[in-house]
Structure 1
Amino acid sequence: MTTGEPTRTARVTRARVALATTAALLAALDLGLKAWASTALADGTSVDLAVIQLRLAFNSGVAFSLGDTLPSGVVLGVTGLIIVGLGVFAWRTTRTATLPMRLGLAAVLAGAIANLIDRAADGVVTDYLHTGWFPTFNLADVFITLGGAALVLSSLRSTDSTPKDAAP
């Protein structure tokens, strides 16, 4: 190792801090937008932005209102367990994960945490993005979807560093 080159432990620590910071910032952005939407759109008004409208709605279930008849404590508990599992996976995977994989994990964690925090207050998640042809959703849902897509795409990349024409 040459002087000035960070150790493996330092690189992993830096990657973990970056993942946690990114997730926290994205979750804060979503929670801020939910607070704004709850105030600005509370009177039933909507804002037309051409391809999407800002319209206030609340979801007591999870994706596509699944589980909306379950007690909110059950939804919170199950969601919390999933987030803890995802957090442990992200923490352990960060050692070897590529940047796109770390960004995908941060986005999924951010969306899940933001929706959990929002639901903890009153048992529902605040939605405010409406297309007219798709259920109303929020930025946290976008983070979860795009983060999941990044994880799938990054996992499809070959991790085999052995040349294809090399003899076994």
Structure 2
Amino acid sequence: MSRHGIVIGVAAVVAVDQAVKALVRADVAQGSVRELLPGIDLVHTKNTGVSFGFLADAPAWVVGLTSTAALVIVVALLARVAPGKPGRVAAALIAGGALGNLIDRIALGSVTDFLDLPLLPPCNIADVAITFGALTMAVAILLTPDDRAHPASGAGQVAKNGSDG
């Protein structure tokens, strides 16, 4: 995935997230519950916090600052940490999710959540993208060899020329 692919990935996450949130706001009464699949409900809630309701009772400036900081950190990760294609996909998911929720927060003052999953507070596509992106990023970092631990220069190796010194 090229840098252009990352931009397309971010745009796709934002577009799908915003489109589904708009449908929920238009067609699902706030506070109502509809079963989508066993154990997964469609709900319509407004989240004044960040992902999964974290900081819901915090002042708006704290939530805005936290959301903006998360987006800046993702951009930094994109530039430095994201190894290979999995890292770039992860960065696109995280950035797209963060941007999708930031758009809601700026435009509406809260984020529209609509998925009620087992053991989690209500969330949305942006939250799911951030979560899968973070998991993918962690796996990519853990599975990528650290080239600094094995320098290619051969420094520190003993010469094998048959002499002892």
Q: TM-score normalised by the shorter chain: which range applies?
A: 0.7 to 0.9
Unaligned 5+ segments in structure 1 are 1-13
1:130/1:136 contact within 8 Å kept: yes
The one-letter code sitting in structure 1 at the alignment partner of 2:85 is L
Aligned match of 1:116: 102
SS at match of 2:115: strand
Query: What RMSD in Å do the two structures reach over aligned CA positions?
Result: 2.3
Report how far residue 45 of structure 1 moved.
3.9
- Looking at structure 1, the residues matched to 10 and 81 of structure 2 have their Cα atoms a distance apart, in angstroms, of 15
Write the deviation string for residues 37-83 of structure 1: whole angstroms up to 9, x where unpaired.
11110264433122311110111112342322222233112311221
State the match for 1:87 in structure 2.
75
Match of 1:129 in 2: 115
Instruction: Choose from 39, 44, 47 the match for 1:56.
Output: 44
Question: Which residue pairs with 2:145 in the alignment?
Answer: 159
Taking the aligned partners of 1:44 and 1:66, their CA distance within structure 2 comes to 19
**Which residue is equivalent to 1:107?**
93
Identify if the C-alpha distance between structure 1 residues 50 and 148 changes in structure 2 by more than 3 Å, giving closer, same or farther: same
Mapping of 1:27-42 within 5 angstroms? 27-42=14-29
Structure 2 residues without counterparts, runs of 5 or longer: 158-165
Structure 2 residue 64 is matched with structure 1 residue 72: no
Q: Is the 8 A contact 1:130 1:137 kept in 2?
A: yes
Q: For residue 91 of structure 1, report the CA deviation from its aligned partner.
A: 3.3
CA contact (8 A) 1:24 1:110 kept: yes
| Runs of 4+ off more than 2 Å | 42-47, 63-66, 91-94, 131-134
State the identity %: 31
Cα 1:38–1:131 change in 2 (3 A) is same
The residue type paired with residue 14 of structure 2 is A
Q: Report SS of the residue matched to 1:24.
A: helix
Q: CA, structure 1 residues 17+91, in 2 after alignment: closer, same or farther (shift >3 Å)?
A: farther
Q: Does 1:143 align with 2:143?
A: no
Tell me how far apart the structure 1 counterparts of residues 46 and 63 of structure 2 sit (CA, whole Å). 15
Counterpart AA for 2:133: G
Work out which of the two has the higher radius of gyration on C-alpha atoms and give 1 or 2.
Answer: 2
- CA apart distance, 1:119: 1.0
